Amino acid sequence: MGKHAAIAIAWIAGLTTIVVPILVAIYLASSQSLDAEKSRAGTLAAEVLRRSDLTSEQIYAAFEKLEGEHADDPCSWSNIARMREIDLGSTQLQAVGYIADNRLMCSSLGIHGAGIPLGPPDYVNAAGTSIRAGVELPFVPAMRFTISTREKSGYAAIVHRVLPLDVATYRPDISLGLVGKDNHELILSRGPFSPEWLEGFGQAGGVRLFDGEYVIAIEPSREYGYTAYAAVPATYLDAGTRRAALILVPVGLAAGILLALVVFYLTRRQLSLPALLRNALRADEFFLLYQPLIDLQSGKWHGAEALLRWQRPDGELIRPDLFIPAAEESGLIRQVTQKVMALLVRDAAALLQLYPDFHIGINLSAADLENPGIIDELRTILQNAGVGPGNIMVEATERGFLKTEHAAQIIRDIRQMGICVAIDDFGTGYSSLSYLTTFELDYLKIDKSFVDTIGIEAATSQVIPHIIEMAKSLKLKIIAEGVETEEQAQYLRERGVHYGQGWLFGKPMPIGELTIQLEKEKKSPES
Which residues share a beta bridge with 214? 210, 233
Taking a C-beta distance cutoff of 8 angstroms, is the pair 406, 426 a contact?
A: no
| Distance in Å, CB of 294 to ligand C2E, minimum | 11
Binder of residue 151, out of Ca ion, ligand C2E, none (CB less than 5 to 8 A by kind): none
Angle at 83 between CA 82 and CA 85, to 5 degrees: 65
Q: Answer yes or no: are the C-beta atoms of 493 and 296 closer than 8 Å.
A: yes
CA 432 to chain centre: 53
Out of 37, 347, 395, 398, point to the residue binding Ca ion (CB under 5 A): 395
Does residue 424 bind ligand C2E (CB under 6 A)? yes
In the complex, what is the shortest distance from the CB of residue 505 to ligand C2E, in angstroms, rounded to a whole number? Answer: 8
Cα separation of 304 and 306, whole Å?
7
Among 125, 365, 488, 515, binds ligand C2E (CB under 6 A): 365
Closest CA to 84 of 138, 57, 75: 75
Q: Are strands 317-318 and 392-397 parallel, antiparallel or unpaired?
A: unpaired
Q: Which region among 161-169, 428-436, 469-477, 481-489 touches ligand C2E (by CB under 6 A)?
A: 481-489
Q: Considering the complex, what minimum distance in angstroms separates the CB of residue 324 from ligand C2E? A: 4
Smallest gap from Cβ 306 to ligand C2E, in A, equals 6
Determine contact, residues 344/362, Cβ cutoff 8 Å.
yes
Of 268, 77, 240, 226, the closest CA to residue 171 belongs to 240
Question: Got the DSSP string for 51-100?
Answer: HHHHHHHHHHHHHHHHHHTT-SSTTSHHHHHHHHHHHHH-SS-SEEEEEE
CA distances from 113 to 84, 103, 104, 247, 307 (A): 18, 10, 9, 65, 123
The only residue of 53, 87, 122, 425 in contact with ligand C2E, by rule CB under 6 A: 425
- Identity of residue 387: V
* Residues contacting ligand C2E: total by CB under 6 A: 19
Q: Tell me which of ligand C2E, Ca ion, none is bound by residue 52, counting a contact when its beta carbon lies within the kind-specific cut-off of 5 to 8 angstroms.
A: none
Nearer to ligand C2E, 130 or 391 (CB): 391
Which one among 146, 363, 488, 515 touches Ca ion, defined by CB under 5 A?
A: 363
Residue 307 contacts ligand C2E per CB under 6 A: yes
| Closer Cβ to Ca ion, 395 or 452, answer by number | 395
Closer by beta carbon to ligand C2E, 122 or else 424: 424
Q: Does 488 bind ligand C2E (CB under 6 A)?
A: no
The single residue among 290, 502, 514, 515 that binds ligand C2E, judged by CB under 6 A, is 502
Residues numbered 438 to 497 that lie near Ca ion (CB under 5 A) are 481
Supply the angle between the helices 273-283 and 320-329 in degrees, to the nearest 10: 100
User: Which one among 503, 512, 520, 522 touches ligand C2E, defined by CB under 6 A?
Assistant: 503
390 touches ligand C2E (CB under 6 A):
no
Encode 294-333: b = buried (16+ Cβ within 10 Å), e = exposed.
bebeeebbbbbbbbbbbebeeeeebeeeebbebbbeeebb
Phi and psi of 25, rounded to 5°?
Answer: -60, -45
Strand order in the sheet with 110-117: 110-117, 103-107, 95-100, 155-160, 140-150, 129-137, 123-124
Of residues 97-156, those binding Ca ion (CB under 5 A): none
Q: Give the residue with the Cβ less far from ligand C2E, 319 or 475.
A: 319
> To the nearest whole angstrom, how small is the minimum distance from the Cβ of residue 467 to ligand C2E?
15
Between 139 and 503, CB nearer to ligand C2E: 503
The candidate with the shortest Cα–Cα distance to 204, out of 183, 222, 177, is 222
Residue 222 CB-half CA count within 13 A: 3
Closest distance of CB 526 from ligand C2E, Å: 26
Q: Considering the complex, what minimum distance in angstroms separates the CB of residue 367 from ligand C2E?
A: 9
> Is position 425 an interface residue for Ca ion (rule: CB under 5 A)?
yes
Tell whether residue 368 is a contact of Ca ion (CB under 5 A).
Answer: no
28 lies in the binding site for ligand C2E (CB under 6 A) = no
Contact flag: residue 324 with ligand C2E (CB under 6 A): yes
122 binds, among Ca ion, ligand C2E, none (CB under 5 to 8 A by kind): none
Least distance to ligand C2E from the beta carbon of 264, Å? 31
| Least distance between Ca ion and beta carbon 509 (Å) | 16
Please state the closest distance from residue 432 (CB atom) to ligand C2E, in A: 21
How long a stretch of residues is the chain?
Answer: 527
Please identify which residue in 101, 199, 314, 321 interacts with ligand C2E, judged by CB under 6 A. 321
Q: What is the DSSP string of 280-315?
A: HHHHT-EEEEEEEEEETTT--EEEEEEEEEEE-TTS
Question: Which C-beta is closer to ligand C2E: that of 176 or that of 385?
Answer: 385
Bridge partners, residue 157, by sequence: 96, 148
Task: Tell me: does residue 424 bind Ca ion (CB under 5 A).
Answer: yes
**Using N-to-C axis directions, what is the helix angle for 273-283 and 333-354, rounded to 10°?**
40
Output 121 or 482, the one with its CB closest to ligand C2E. Answer: 482
Considering only 81-89, 127-135, 137-145, 502-510, which stretch makes contact with ligand C2E by CB under 6 A?
A: 502-510
Applying CB under 5 A, the span of 231-239, 268-276, 392-400, 456-464 interacting with Ca ion comes to 392-400
Contact present, 416 and 446 (Cβ < 8 Å): no
Does 320 engage in binding with ligand C2E (CB under 6 A)?
yes
- Crossing angle between the packed helical segments 320-329 and 333-354, to the nearest 10 degrees: 130
Q: Which residues bind Ca ion (CB under 5 A)?
A: 363, 395, 424-425, 481
Q: Which residues bind ligand C2E (CB under 6 A)?
A: 291, 307-308, 319-321, 324, 340, 363, 365, 424-425, 481-482, 484, 501-503, 508
